[in-house]
Amino acid sequence: MSAMIGPSRRWLRAGLAGYTWIVVLFIYLPPVYLLLLSFNPGLLPSVPTLSNLSLKWYRALLDEARMLDALQASVMVAVVTAVVTTVLALLGGLAYRRMAANAQVGFFVFVVFPMFVPGVIQGLALSVILRVLGVTFSGWTVVAGHLLWSLPVVFIVLLTSFSVLRGSLAEAAQDLGASEWRVFWDITFPLIRPGIISGASFALLLSFNEFIRAFFLVGGQDTLPIYMFGAMNAGTSPTIYSLAGSTLLLSALGFGLALVGLTLLKTRRGWAHRAVQSS
């Protein structure tokens, strides 16, 4: 940036920085405001004062049996979705690495395509074919719908994490006579483990919060977002705020934990790397 020294660049930087944080505020203001309201003890939404903060409506959540059932269903669906998604995306990612460039583009578009299909259409299409096939709707059918949303995302996440793989390491191992499996377990897998962990956590969160694809596929038991959608439309009980608040906090916590896990793994790998170098 040699041509732009001095105050003009500094002003430009300051202006763009200020603007960027306003955009961040635009995205974060509503959920943060909702969180504030959720700690208000009154019946009508208002911002509580510091001395007035209350967990009253959070405690009230524990008495809502239907909500707790939905929460349990959502957690189970999310865990299964995360496991299946991660295994499938990992296999797909490994396949992608071995493909010719032409095949890669086609395969990438094919895997990512369901992300672009509107959830209503994808959910409806899947529910109709399942109904015709005589499948009973349950948590499993919800998993099937959620897969179509989480698989493309996790696939992309894993592909980015593959950038740490240097072909030479695996080739060296192969040259030394290691089998395909050994190369995978001893080299590939440890290197991409951070990607796998973040991919799995992202799948978990995507499934946990997905509404529209589940809407057509639930059996007798609603998932949490479906329950929440109903409660928000009915719109009277203040527990909506605490329910939304705790869901937001849980998701943010999950995201944070995934990040912490990633950082820990990276530092550990850094240590190991340095230990190897110094020995």
CB within 8 Å of 130: residues ≥ 6 apart: 137, 141, 144, 217
Contact call for residue 261 and other proteins (CB under 8 A): no
Residue 270 CB, shortest distance to other proteins, in Å, is 17
Binds other proteins by CB under 8 A, chosen from 43, 55, 129, 172 = 129
Q: In terms of CB distance, is 106 or 190 closer to other proteins?
A: 106
Interface with other proteins in residues 166-185 (CB under 8 A) = 180
**Is residue 48 left, alpha or beta, with left meaning phi > 0 and alpha meaning psi from -120 to 50?**
beta
With 0-12 CB in 10 A as exposed, 13-18 as middle and 19+ as buried, what is 273? exposed
Q: Find the binding residues for other proteins in span 67-126 (CB under 8 A).
A: 87-89, 91-92, 94-99, 101, 103-105, 107-114, 116-122, 124-126
**Is 238 a binder of other proteins (CB under 8 A)?**
no
CA distances from 126 to 107, 135, 147, 227 (A): 22, 11, 12, 21
Decide whether 54 or 247 has the Cβ nearer to other proteins: 247
The one among 248, 261, 262, 265 contacting other proteins by CB under 8 A:
248
Taking CA atoms, 114 is separated from 94, 121, 184, in Å, by 20, 10, 29
Site string for other proteins, 1-40 (x = CB under 8 A): xxxx---xx--xx--xx-xx--xx-xxxxxx-xx--x---
CB hemisphere CA count around 43 (13 angstroms)? 2
- Binding-site member from 147, 183, 187, 218 for other proteins (CB under 8 A): 147
Minimum CB separation of residue 15 from other proteins in Å reads: 9
Query: Cα separation of 4 and 9, whole Å?
Result: 6
Q: Which of 192, 200, 206, 218 binds other proteins (CB under 8 A)?
A: 206
Nearer to other proteins, 133 or 275 (CB): 133
- The helix/strand count (H/E) of the chain reads as 12, 0
Position 189 contacts other proteins (CB under 8 A): no
